[in-house]
Amino acid sequence: MATRDDILVELGLTPTWRRREAVAAPLARLVADVAPQVLREPRPATSPPPAQDAETRSARIASLSWDDFAADVDACTACGLCRTRNKAVPGVGDTNAGWLFVGEAPGAEEDARGEPFVGQAGRLLDNMLAALGMARGRNVYIANVLKCRPPNNRAPEPSESGACRPYLERQVELLRPKLIVALGKSAASLLLDTDATIASLRGRVHQYRGVPLVVTYHPAYLLRNLPDKAKAWEDMLLARRTVATSVGKMTSIPPPVA
Ligand code: SF4
């Protein structure tokens, strides 16, 4: 007579149970092998290393060479913009240039490419340079006050400009340009330490640590305010006259005023 087990085998319903140890033993071995390692091995660090104090950081940046400069900016976490940038934008151009153009901050295209003034505003700047017989990369260096893009292209916060300032100061020192052109309010305010309007600052030659400085409108502003292009052109001509009458590149730049 068929037993109960025979019937279950016939119906394909076995096995109906399994010894618990058969399943538990491999699992127990796995836990025994892996758990001590998990407990021993330190978790990878998820938070950035502690920030250097501002003085130590400024001193380190003040000793950077051109070779180290871009990598240092790329690794910078001194302000919150490091968390939202795609690429840092250190600057671009001839590192022996006589002309230094300083804008505000990278926009979306600059943030994607890691190069300043590559969008529509950049094309306008290139056209202005061409009209003066110049080109980016040929006796021209282009940088921004901020090396990382502020979200939604908002204006730089004072804390961000302050944190990024040592980089611009180092660029001026390395370059020792014959002339600085401040493009827009952020650059003029930072370099001249003033809150005055562009309209009141343009049309004359200022000084930044002994380097002649001309203020003009930011190309992005000019794209929205075409009548002011004529004024910007006057500023470029003033800049060219200033370079023509300057004696040459400075041999040293005085330290920043504390
Ligand atoms: Fe550093 Fe300047 Fe970028 Fe801020 S904006 S993270 S200070 S490089």
Span 128-162, pLDDT tens digits: 999 999 999 899 999 999 999 999 999 999 999 99
Decide: 149 in ligand 1 pocket, CB within 6 A.
Answer: no
Distance from Cα 105 to the centre of ligand 1, integer Å: 10
Task: Specify the pTM.
Answer: 0.78
Tokens of 201: 């600052």
Choosing from 57, 58, 82 the residue with most ligand 1 atoms within 8 A of its CB, the one to mutate for a pocket test is 82
Residue 81 CB–ligand 1 contact under 6 Å: yes
Which of 96, 148, 153, 143 has its CA nearest to residue 122? 143
Which residue bears the tokens 């109960």? 4
> In what helix (H) or strand (E) does residue 101 lie, and over which residues does it extend?
strand 99-103
Given CA atoms 128, 174, 104, 183 in this order, what sign does their dihedral have?
negative
Q: Which of 148, 159, 165, 169 to mutate to test the pocket of ligand 1 (most atoms within 8 A of CB)?
A: 148
Rounded-to-integer distance, Cα 153 and Cα 119, Å: 13
CB 152 within 8 A of CB 166: no
Query: Chain-centre distance of CA 33, in angstroms?
Result: 46
pLDDT in the model for residue 246 = 80
The one-character DSSP state at 116 is S
What residues in the chain have per-residue pLDDT under 50? 7-9, 11-13, 16-28, 30-49
Give 56-250's CATH code, choosing from 2.70.98.10, 1.10.10.10, 2.60.40.10, 3.40.470.10.
3.40.470.10
If you take atom 5 of ligand 1, which residue's CA is the nearest one?
Answer: 148
Distance from residue 63's CA to the centre of ligand 1 (Å): 17
Q: CB within 8 A of 182, min separation 6: which ones?
A: 102, 188, 191, 192, 213, 214, 215, 216
Residue 257: per-residue pLDDT: 55
Which residues lie below 8 Å from residue 83, measured CB to CB, with a gap of 6+?
none
CA angle 55, 44, 111 (to 5 degrees): 60
- Residue 258 pLDDT: 54
pLDDT at 6: 55
Cα 84 to ligand 1 centroid, rounded to whole Å: 11
Q: How far is the CA of 58 from the centre of ligand 1 (A)?
A: 13
Q: What is the pLDDT of residue 249?
A: 66
| 35 Cα–ligand 1 center, Å | 41
CA distance 209 to 169: 10
CB 164 less than 6 A from any atom of ligand 1 = yes
> How many whole angstroms separate alpha carbon 141 and alpha carbon 153?
22
What does the alpha-carbon distance between residue 206 and residue 210 come to, in Å, rounded to a whole number? 9
> Whose alpha carbon is nearest atom 3 of ligand 1?
148
**CA Rg, the chain, in Å?**
30
**Cα 9 to ligand 1 centre (Å):** 73
Minimal-distance CA residue to ligand 1 atom 4 = 79
Distance of CA 48 to the CA centre of its chain: 17
